[in-house]
Amino acid sequence: MSLRTSAAVITGCGVVSPFGLGVATLWEALLAGRSAIAPIVGFPAGDLVPNAAAEIHGVVVDDPDRAGALALLAAREALAAAELDPHAVDPARFGVVLGTTCGGMRIFEAWDAAAAAGTPPPADVARVPYFAPAVRLARALGCRGPVATTQLACASGTAAIALAAGWVLSGRADVVLAGGTDILSRFLVAGFNCLRATAERARPFDRDRRGLVLGEGAALLVIEDAAHAARRGADVRAAVLGAGAAADAVHMTAPDREGGGAARAIEAALAAAAVIPAAVDFVSAHGTGTPYNDAMEAVALGRVFGAAGPAVHSIKGAVGHTLGAAGALEAVVCVQALATGLIPPTVGLVNPDPACAVLDLVRGEPRRRRVDVALSTSSGFAGANAAIVLGAP
């Protein structure tokens, strides 16, 4: 193991979102205040109520391992943006960490349908395990360093970036592809509908919010040792300053009403980054649009930042809740905000909930302001909470 490095930096980002391929495509849509939420057409869902999601269209993925295929597309864009040839990296020091909640669920559904019909299962049934997308990335790109799948429910993508930065800082890897991937399936939509957690439209922090809308996508970031990036003359887009995680231990699906776990995760991330709350310029909030989550998050952010807090945005009114990919997509939004000084409006937010009045919510149109420090927060079932702090290079 090499000596601990001084910094973990981000040198490239890649995205496949419901708006299509590429970071630029996503960013343009977010700044324009567009939403990709629509009735489901990608699989039989006519009897599902609500019947709405943010699906990926116009991206050809002729592969039963849809989650892995999307992750690979995002990874290739991230590597290209970083101007990094994966073959130029010592394979033993090139890692992969990917968050997901459902992995190869559509393959499992095909296997289940075949069993019900008495026909042979799909030949690629071995790709069902949740760790399959991470393994696929590692094999396709020749990564022979640490490989892991993070599963902290909807905090999985954020946890993946935190773990990747930890590997770099501890000297376990020079480069790590980190992020998340998740896909829509009948199983997933029906399950959330049964929980009565879904709605036809996502309205983060709005007084009329009724529930989340599911989405799908993949986002990968190149997390690199700062010295490694400097040696090859790479452009640094952001630095991973700190990360934190904490558990609610309150309920299997509902969050702590007082935001205890979320606040502790944020405080831990700020402490690791040696950043005071007043230095944070922008928060990419979890902001699912459910009554309990948004109220909890407003309490948590209020506890940490007080009344004069940073600008707050939620991506989920635009691309839905992409589960294991959500935190990674939010990290890309933070990188873009750091680079451009623009914060997108929160799609679906029309009438802010008075219970969320402590938050400086960005709505209506993009806000221009200098962003030197950005925070991304994630919360998931079973009380999982994670946060990362990113800084300008």
Catalytic residues: 154, 286, 321
Reduce the secondary structure of the chain to three states and give it as a string. Answer: CCCCCCCEEEEEEEEEECCEECHHHHHHHHHCCCCCCECCCCCCCCCCCCCCEECCCCCCCCCCCHHHHHHHHHHHHHHHHCCCCHHHCCHHHEEEEEECCCCCHHHHHHHHHHHHHCCCCCCCHHHCCCCHHHHHHHHHHCCCCCEEEECECECHHHHHHHHHHHHHHHCCCCEEEEEEEECCCHHHHHHHHHCCCECCCCCCCECCCCCECEECEEEEEEEEEHHHHHHCCCCCCEEEEEEEEEECCCCCCCCCCCCHHHHHHHHHHHHHHCCCHHHCCEEECCCCCCHHHHHHHHHHHHHHHCCCCCEEECCHHHHCECHHHHHHHHHHHHHHHHHHCEECCCCCCCCECHHHCCCEECCCCCEECCCCEEEEEEEEHHHEEEEEEEECC
Q: Are 385 and 265 in contact (CB under 8 A)?
A: yes
> How many angstroms from the chain centroid is the CA of residue 222?
14
